[in-house]
């Protein structure tokens, strides 16, 4: 229990001190503090029962004697005892955290915005940037939180939190659309590279040397024919077409390297039979195998009858 302030015990000094205005103020303040503290349990009980801390504090203040600047300290003690930390201070601290999270969201969004803009990719109709203007506004208003009331702080913080969540969601959506666009671009690039490689391979195979190399490989790999058989095949198709996949006999209609008659027969080996030497070779080797057994047998028949 607190002990009331007393004057000095010396009877010679006490009258002078009681005449002092400063001592009178100190005594009044001490008396007021003791009165407030003595009534604290009743205020707490009243605030819990009524659910309104402000009304209980106000009733106590009206009943207490005037005590100058000492009363606010007592009120603060009661508020802290009943509610814990000061609500406005706590809200201010929470606002600082909200601002930090909001600023992080803006930084991330702007980084993605910049990357997407620099890429020039087509996002397929999806938004190409995250709008952070509203969130920036809320951050600016919360930055002046020292001058705001608790209600204003609470409202602004709620707006900022909601907008932060919105910016984060929009950023995630933009990142997803951007990743999809990047993958589409990579897939298109791979397809283009594969097409270019195929075109280069086709161009190489469609030359005389390329056609011969392709025929040698197919003859050995698919039919087991060695160099002796390839020598006969080379002689046969050199005579028939000169290994030219565009060769065409106007008088009879024989077409391509193997001089198929009609040329459309070679469609069984591939729909590109008119433009691909490898397709024509595949059909021609199959024809030789089924009709003559080997290229040398076909070459012998060609030499004897001038056709095969």
pLDDT digits (tens, 9 = 90+) for 131-158: 999 999 999 999 888 888 889 889 999 9
- How is residue 67 written in tokens? 């005590």
Block residue for tokens 């939190």: 161
pLDDT of residue 35: 41
pTM: 0.55
pLDDT digits (tens, 9 = 90+) for 287-305: 999 999 999 999 999 999 9
Tell me which of 88-97, 147-156, 192-201 is least confident. 88-97
pLDDT of residue 189: 95
Binning pLDDT at 50, 70 and 90, where does residue 94 land?
confident
For residue 173, whether the previous peptide bond is cis, meaning omega lies within 30 degrees of 0, is: no
- How is residue 278 written in tokens? 């490898």
Produce one character per residue of 157-191: b if its CB has 16 or more CB atoms within 10 Å, e if not.
Answer: bebbbebbebbbebbeebbebbeebeeeeeeeeee
pLDDT digits (tens, 9 = 90+) for 206-261: 999 999 999 999 999 999 999 999 999 999 999 999 999 999 999 989 999 999 99
């Amino acid at each position: 229990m607190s002990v009331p302030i007393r004057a000095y015990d010396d009877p010679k000094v006490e009258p002078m001190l009681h005449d002092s205005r400063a001592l009178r103020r100190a005594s009044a303040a001490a008396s007021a503090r003791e009165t407030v503290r003595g009534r604290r349990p009743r205020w707490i009980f009243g605030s819990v029962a009524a659910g309104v801390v402000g009304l209980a504090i106000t009733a106590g203040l009206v009943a207490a004697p005037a005590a100058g600047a000492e009363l606010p300290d007592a009120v603060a003690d009661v508020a802290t005892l009943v509610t814990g930390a000061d609500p406005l201070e706590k809200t201010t601290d929470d606002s600082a955290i909200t601002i930090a999270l909001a600023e992080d969201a803006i930084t991330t969004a702007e980084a993605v915005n910049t990357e997407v803009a620099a890429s020039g990719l087509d996002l397929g109709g999806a938004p190409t940037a995250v709008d952070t203007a509203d969130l920036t506004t809320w951050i600016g208003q919360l930055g002046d939180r020292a001058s705001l009331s608790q209600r204003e702080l609470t409202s602004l913080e709620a707006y900022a939190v909601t907008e932060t969540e919105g910016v984060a969601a929009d950023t995630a959506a933009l990142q997803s659309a951007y990743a999809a666009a990047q993958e589409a671009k990579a897939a298109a690039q791979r397809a283009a590279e594969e097409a270019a490689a195929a075109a280069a391979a086709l161009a190489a195979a469609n030359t005389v040397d390329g056609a011969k190399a392709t025929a040698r490989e197919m003859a050995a790999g698919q039919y087991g024919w060695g160099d002796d058989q390839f020598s006969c095949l080379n002689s046969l198709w050199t005579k028939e077409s000169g290994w030219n996949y565009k060769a065409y006999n106007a008088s009879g209609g024989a077409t391509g390297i193997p001089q198929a008659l009609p040329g459309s027969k070679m469609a069984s080996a591939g729909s590109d039979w008119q433009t691909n030497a490898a397709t024509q070779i595949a059909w021609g080797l199959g024809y030789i195998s089924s009709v003559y057994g080997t290229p040398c047998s076909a070459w012998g028949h060609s030499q004897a009858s001038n056709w095969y």
